[in-house]
Amino acid sequence: MRDVTAEAPEAKTQASGAYRLYVLVLLTGVYTFNFIDRQIIGILSPAIKADLGLADWQLGILKGFAFAVLYTTLGIPIARLADRKNRVTIISIALALWSGFTAISGACQNFFQLTVARVGVGIGEAGGSPPAHSLISDYFPKEKRAGALAFYAMGIPIGIALAYLGGGWITETFGWRVAFVVIGLPGILAAILLKATVREPERGGMEKDDAASDAFASLRVTEPADGFERRTKRLCDLLPADVGASWFSEIAVVWRAAKHLLSIPTYRAAVIATTAVSFSSYANGTWIVDFYSRTHSEFSLLQVLFALGIISGTAYLAGTFLGGYVVDKLAVKDKRMYGYVPALALVLSVPCFMAVIWSGSPVVSLLFQIPVQLALGFYLGPAFALAQTLAPVSIRALSTAVFFFILNMIALGFGPTTAGFISSALMDAFGEGLALQISLTIVSFAALYGAWMFYVTGNRVSDDWAKATGEDV
């Protein structure tokens, strides 16, 4: 049987500016589908709760842990495959898979079935961002990488906005089941377009010849070097000799690559910072519709979804673009801006979010969403760019997967779930609305720790950038 992920001939000549932009726009479209399908469960949450009679802790699992478990764990082996095989094919298959499971969600009749469907969405989305980040890094030089990856990250606010606007209207008009189907099916068509029109670029073609050598390019491990590898080898020795040797080498290479990446102070600080911010933002993002439906019931669900969609599609979009653009400009003279700019934006976001949660006026609450969403976008492009530029070329997809493994297992897995459990625990004492307000306030303070860690990132970045690129900084 032919390997559908086999490495296609790589484009050896630099792509034109127009084609690079086309690829970037199309990959951003894929990421848009990623976040529509990820966010839609939070938007449909009140309707699902009413129809299926689910508790907040069950909704928290659907929004967080059910999606995150296999999304995070499978991201690493899929990224390892993407570092050696055709990344375009991998992304295309992944997109078709998660879109299909989103559509299937519309047929689910209970908590268990929805959980299985969300796990399926997570399996598909595991093959999205790591190979996409690697592709973009081979189409754009590191001096423009924060801007390019920020453009790609605009798929987040666009996806959220479309989920709010389209998902809300479809739900109000036809019901939450139809919303899942209508939102899921177009991703399958996009997968076909991606595979048919995007070329696989030369790996590392945008790097200087004098960059640091890549120790992982052809690494094969035969003997264990630490306790984890010795235990892994004993397990692999139970398999047939050739299979066991191959599995041991793969696991050991991933283990050593992860240790190498996390030994880089800037990479480690950026992972911690992004995880802390995302813990807060995932929890708040997946529960915000429930918050407005419980606390400001004078607004209809459609009015709330429309307002949140417009804010996400403007303020969050602008912040995501500006974060990458500003850092690319400022970092030409001072690489510390990769951390300092996101840190400043995040410090400003937290008091604004307190106004969102505790304002007695729904209009004031929604108005304060504008600076919150603007500030939240600033860290995406710089953080993604660091994960790519600090990693050796041969493990760039793996670099994003390791980054996302830590980020999403903690932030996506436990952020929404923690908020749901806190809300459930406080509900008898405080009531449905106030319990959720307190819960979202508690999880929001993680963003302040994230701001501090981005400041630490800025302090460390110059030395690590020089080591990774061979440049004088």
Tell me: the pLDDT tens digits for 185-217?
Answer: 999 999 999 999 998 888 776 665 444 456 787
Residue indicated by tokens 């304002």: 359
Which DSSP string do the residues of 287-346 spell out, in sequence order?
A: HHHHHHHHH-TTS-HHHHHHHHHHHIIIIIHHHHHHHHHHHHHHTTT-TTHHHHHHHHHH
CATH topology of domain 17-201+221-469: Growth Hormone; Chain: A; (1.20.1250)
Rounded Cα gap, residues 122 and 336, in angstroms: 34
Q: From 176, 159, 168, 67, select the one nearest 121 (Cα to Cα).
A: 67
The single-letter DSSP state of residue 213 is P
The model's pLDDT over 336-387, given as tens digits with 9 standing for 90+, comes to 999 999 999 999 999 999 999 999 898 999 999 999 999 999 998 899 889 9
Please tell me which residue, 73 or 406, carries the higher pLDDT value: 406
Could you read off the pLDDT of 140-197 as tens digits, one per residue? 887 888 888 889 988 888 888 888 888 778 887 888 899 899 988 999 999 999 999 9
DSSP 16: P
Q: What is the pLDDT of residue 304?
A: 84
Residues 320, 314: Cα–Cα separation, whole Å:
10
Confidence of residue 305 (pLDDT cuts 50, 70, 90): confident
Q: Tokens at residue 81, please? A: 């495959």
Q: What is the pTM of this model?
A: 0.79
Whole-angstrom Cα distance, residue 442 to residue 419?
8
User: What band does 473 get if pLDDT is binned at 50, 70 and 90?
Assistant: low
* Selected residue with higher pLDDT from 171 and 402: 402
**CA dist list (Å): 287 to 65, 161, 460:** 14, 15, 35
Q: Which of 60-74, 246-260, 306-320 has the lowest mean pLDDT?
A: 60-74
Mean pLDDT of the chain: 87
**Would the CA dihedral through 270, 388, 464, 77 be positive or negative?**
positive
What is the arithmetic mean of pLDDT over 388-415?
86
Which range (42-51, 278-287, 441-450) has the least confidence? Answer: 42-51
Helices (H) and strands (E) in the chain, counts: 24, 0
Q: Quick one: which of 284, 254, 295, 285 has its CA closest to 394? A: 254
Check: CB of residue 201 under 8 Å from CB of residue 86.
Answer: no
**Could you state, in order of their start, the residue ranges of all structural domains in the chain?**
17-201+221-469
Which pLDDT band holds residue 133 (cuts at 50, 70, 90)? confident
How many Å is the Cα radius of gyration of the chain? 22
